[in-house]
Structure 1
Amino acid sequence: MHYYLLNKEYSMKFVFIMLFSAISMSSFAQFKSEDSASVNITGGNTDLKTYTFKSDNSYTVEKSVYRAHGSYHYGESDSVRSAENWDFGLRYDYNFLPTTGMYVGELIEADRFAGYDRRYNTDLGLTHIFYKSDSATFLAEAGLRYAIEKPLDNSEDKKDFKGRIYTEITEKLQDNLKGKFWIEYLPNFSESKDYLVNLEPSLIITLTKTFSMKTAYLWKYDNEPPTGKSKYDHNYTLSLLANF
């Protein structure tokens, strides 16, 4: 319990330091924000409600990029809660070369339907852009992750050292249509069988300078999930995006 409180305090300090540093930067910085919302409400013979909200923000100053992102997903079936998960992350990138940089970040996840109450992830790694043009980009990231997972039954926290390999491809298919695919592999150095794989293909249709429509399929795989839980999670969304 004492370790958990220290870790929580560390996470909050990390949040405040990142926010204070970003706010205090030069007015010449570039700020970008992409926010999305997806709502599905069905009544009558089928009573189903799902809500998904996401926000991705970045603040660029010369070679430094400060990022903040969060998401929340909630679902009800016949007035009974059937899904609820959220995540919030902060990350700092420093590009010491035009196509190569390093990153450090903190990600907090919660998903009791997947068998855990909280998961705290501390990341450190490198990024590299292998290809970039006006119509396409291919980049990869590789790093280390220290994860602390708090089970639902209040048993001892699970602590793991993991790796992280991430690749992302984006391509402009038409003037108003962009495709994107990313995949993330998280090997577990503490327990080799307990690895994770996440991936998401998506299409974005530009409607106006500010608004777009996005269809995406998020797939998550946990090779050793908590007892009684499935190895697979997936979520299909059709969302309205707002870019600022």
Structure 2
Amino acid sequence: MYDISTRKRALALVGQGRSLNSVSRETGISRAAIRSWQDRLEPLPRLAPPDPGPPADHCVYAYLLGLYLGDGCISGHPRGVGYYLRIACANSWPGLIDACESAMRAINPTGRANRVQAQGYVSVVSYSKHWPYLFPQHGPGKKHERRIALEPWQQAIVDAHPWEFIRGLIHSDGCRVTNWTTRLVGGERKRYEYPRYFFTNRSADIIRLFTTTLDQVGVLWKQANACNVSIARKASIALMDAHVGPKY
């Protein structure tokens, strides 16, 4: 794309009686482009791609939505109308990297995704014109500095597939750990271990989406502080283990 000043300069040279060949050699601009500017100086407006509508695979989308809200971002291609969806996955969890790439391929209308190795993590990347439609939470700035809310069609998908959404959020910004404490048993202090799930995110809106979905599936939780949610009740851990499990 050439800016208006470049176009005007080329046309001014032509207006001096120069041939298209000589102006093209001097400016590096093709004769066809210069000739077209003689009919229309302003560039044609870019047409936005059509809205593809909600994704066909709602179950996979719910999982990918959780990953995106946790560790994902969307950025525009500098020379086109397309966008890159990137989700960062730690090297420690190869199974998560595979699941993320598979979900991206299933949701991207082009069916494409690839991996870019970085220091300590893999960035799973997929290019499409439709990512802002599929993830309307995309916007300028960091997620925790702007409002994050689901569109009605997204909320309907999460309501239908709550565990996949929770799984995506845990796989991005959560973990399953083993805590321990000591207690007196028969006068002797013994070590006691118990599992716990944590979810950490700086966005109050994303925390709210997570806890509201936990309420929907009957998981009891406690907010340790503004950024951390803890799940430690035995029955709730059993539910999380059955539907989410540790990263792998």
Q: TM tier, shorter chain?
A: under 0.3
Higher relative contact order (CA 8 A, sep 6+): 2
